[in-house]
Amino acid sequence: MCLAIPGKVVSVEQSNGLRVGRVQFGGIVRQASLDFVPEAEVGDYVMVHVGYAISRVDEAEAQRTYELLEEMGALEAELPEESSGQ
Amino acid sequence: MKFLDEYRDARVARTLAKEVAACTTRDWVLMEICGGQTHTIMRYGLDEILPKQIELVHGPGCPVCVTPLETIDKALALALRPEVILVSYGDMLRVPGSNSDLFRAKAQGADVRVAYSPTEAVKIARANPDRKVVFLAIGFETTAPANAMAAWLAKREGLKNLSLLVSHVLVPPAIRALLATPENRVQGFIAPGHVCTVVGYSEYESLVQDFHIPMVVGGFEPVDLLEAVLMLVKQLERGEARVENQYVRSVTYKGNERAQEVVREVFVVADQKWRGIGMIPNSGLRLSDAYADHDANKIFDLQLISAEEPAECISAQVLQGLKKPTDCPAFAMRCTPENPLGAPMVSSEGACAAYYHYRRHAAQGAVKIAV
């Protein structure tokens, strides 16, 4: 229930004075309210929970963190495989 | 899928687990608060790739699990009225009430409808002006803004036939209550990433100060949780206690202020009963007086006879991380998702359900065949 998933905003429109968008999650597109993320524009990624976008994904932060993790992973891959102690 | 797949990368996950092992010098007990996080841990076996010194215990972050028995019984009583359309999140349908559950009521002819979003409750109310639509509005801080919008729209549009039966819970008072129990063994917390997406994490600083226990706001994918564990272990090994944010792509210190505004407009903090745990002061939300016309608790006159929980159900101890689901004698035998004794077995975020889906063979001592 507290699950929110990231999706890409593909269109934005006003409906009854409220901002809604069509958001793409992998292969499906669903409508979501963008009331809580006025800064989100087409092309941005948002976290959607029960049909409401609750944050705009900070791609710069995600990129930075991910690069650090990737480096760790790449380094690890270069080291000899340890036997998995089971 | 972008922003999901990368955080499920096995190579990165294994690297993080090895990093944790490299800096762990003693036993640590950590708690992840959110049921969604529990499910990821169980599903991907994160507890198994982490070093044995790290013990993960599961917290009460399952809003379906902690909805009071009385609330389920009220929803049932309302659903059975012919003029009522009871709208609920799907998860709530099989949660056992005193004598029945919404799914059974629906099978018996009650008009119970599943909604993915509170917006659907509003649409149903608009489309059925002659019926009384009651929306079972449950959740943590993550869901409060969306649930609030149902009430806000009802008021704005004068939808007199839409009301909310509210059962909202707040995380920090629950952590405080857990830390205050004498049996508490938790030394570090993974704070719930989507709750903090909405409310930020300034509230966790006072907890850290009062109890000197580190907290890391964590996401929900395997890489997120492993990174959060690593950050916690590093703090613990150094004797530090701070709030840190692992889930930087979604969480900021202040959180989502627009979402917080609508919650402040519609709800007020109130004492709240947590199923299995009991009453925790100022740990819930109720509709503010301005929304009395849309408050199912005020509009409907409900006399209920609530029974006790089945004696066998140990959900109270599971929700507080004192016992694991597999410690329960009824687990996977008398208590299954189809016939649950308590809520944690039926909710998609319940710890018992997570163990049932991902661990029950290990729990029952499956014999390994030597090849």
Mutate to test the interface with A, among B8, B9, B15 (most CBs of A within 10 A): B15
**Are A51 and B227 inside 8 Å of each other by CB?**
no
In a domain, A69, yes or no: yes
Closest B-chain CA to A63: B249
Tokens 């599961």 locate to B58
With beta carbons under 8 A apart, name residues in chain B contacting A72: 12, 15-16, 19
With beta carbons under 8 A apart, name residues in chain A contacting B117: 50-52
Band (B367; pLDDT cuts 50, 70, 90): very low
- CATH number for the domain that contains residue A63: 2.30.30.140
**Are B195 and A2 inside 8 Å of each other by CB?**
yes
User: B322, B365, B315, B330: which is closest to B95 by C-alpha?
Assistant: B315
Query: Is residue B109 pLDDT above 50, yes or no?
Result: yes
State mean pLDDT over B165-184.
94
Nearest CB to A2 within list B14, B119, B142: B142
Closest A-chain CA to B258: A36
With beta carbons under 8 A apart, name residues in chain B contacting A33: 119, 146, 149
User: What's the pLDDT score for residue B348?
Assistant: 80
Tens-place pLDDT, residues B208-251: 999 999 999 999 999 999 999 999 999 999 999 999 999 999 99
Closest A-chain CA to B4: A6
**Are B91 and A51 inside 8 Å of each other by CB?**
no
Six-digit token string for B254: 């202040």
Residues 188-207 of B with CB under 8 A from A: 192, 194-195, 197-198
In a domain, A85, yes or no: no
CA B35 to chain centre: 5
Burial of B338 (0-12, 13-18, 19+ CB in 10 A): exposed
Distance in angstroms (rounded) separating the CA atoms of residues B197 and B212:
23
User: What's the pLDDT score for residue A85?
Assistant: 42
**How many domains are contained in chain A?**
1
Band (A1; pLDDT cuts 50, 70, 90): low
Size of interface A-B (CB pairs under 8 A): 130
Cβ contact B227:B13 at 8 Å: no
Parent domain of A13:
5-78
Residues 224-283 of B with CB under 8 A from A: 227, 248-251, 256, 258-259, 262
DSSP letters spanning B137-175: EEESTTTHHHHHHHHHHHHHHT-TTEEEEEEEE-HHHHH
Six-digit token string for B169: 């819970």
User: What's the pLDDT score for residue B364?
Assistant: 55
Distance in angstroms (rounded) separating the CA atoms of residues B288 and B292:
7
pTM for the model: 0.91
With beta carbons under 8 A apart, name residues in chain A contacting B262: 35-36
Q: Tell me which residues of chain A have a C-beta less than 8 Å from any C-beta of chain B.
A: 1-6, 8, 25-26, 33, 35-38, 45, 47, 49-52, 54-55, 57-59, 61-62, 65-66, 69-70, 72-73, 75-77
With beta carbons under 8 A apart, name residues in chain B contacting A59: 249
Cβ contact B91:A1 at 8 Å: yes
Strand bridging mode B84-89 / B112-115: parallel
Tens-place pLDDT, residues B27-54: 999 999 999 999 999 999 999 999 999 9
Domains of chain B: 5-61+171-245 (3.40.50.11750), 65-164+257-266+275-299 (3.40.50.11740), 315-363 (no CATH)
Distance in angstroms (rounded) separating the CA atoms of residues B291 and B164:
10
CA atoms within 13 A on the CB side of B97: 21
Dihedral sign, CA of B191, B197, B198, B200? Answer: positive
Band (B368; pLDDT cuts 50, 70, 90): very low
DSSP letters spanning chain A: ----EEEEEEEEEEETTEEEEEEEETTEEEEEE-TT-TT--TT-EEEEETTEEEEE--HHHHHHHHHHHHHHHHHHHHSPPPP---
User: What's the pLDDT score for residue B370?
Assistant: 37
In a domain, A84, yes or no: no
Q: What does the mean pLDDT of chain B come to? A: 93
Cβ contact B280:B163 at 8 Å: no
- Minimal CA separation from A66 to chain B, in Å: 8
In a domain, A86, yes or no: no
ipTM given for this complex: 0.91
Nearest CB to A50 within list B14, B146, B348: B146
Backbone angles phi, psi at B184, to 5 degrees: -60, 130
Backbone angles phi, psi at B2, to 5 degrees: -65, 145
